[in-house]
Amino acid sequence: MIILYLHIGEEKVVFLDDIIAIMDIEKTTTSNNTREYLKKSEENGIVTAIGTDIPKSFVVALTDGQQKVFLSPISSSTLNKRFRKIADDYREELN
């Protein structure tokens, strides 16, 4: 079994299978629904800030049956490119 993971900043990685969404903070927080989701997540203690830089994205993951939100200093476009590259390389390796 091969375990694939995505580096989301500092020394934090998330398993690819655990990732539900990778979102751009600036674009998505214009929505009341997203702001409310992040607020409730913070209140529920499931938000983890990665590093001390201003977050550019957030990653929603389901880890060990629990939802978690990671605030990442890496842009969502960079994280999505990394995700696709890892997934594509893995598919290529299988063929």
Task: Output the pLDDT for position 94.
Answer: 83
| Cα angle value 88/94/95 (rounded, 5°) | 95
Task: Output the pLDDT for position 38.
Answer: 97
Q: Cα–chain-centroid distance for residue 34?
A: 15
- On the question of pLDDT at 2 being above 80, the answer is no
Task: Output the pLDDT for position 1.
Answer: 62
Q: How confident is the model at residue 95 (pLDDT cuts 50, 70, 90)?
A: confident
What pTM did the predictor assign? 0.93
- On the question of pLDDT at 85 being above 90, the answer is yes
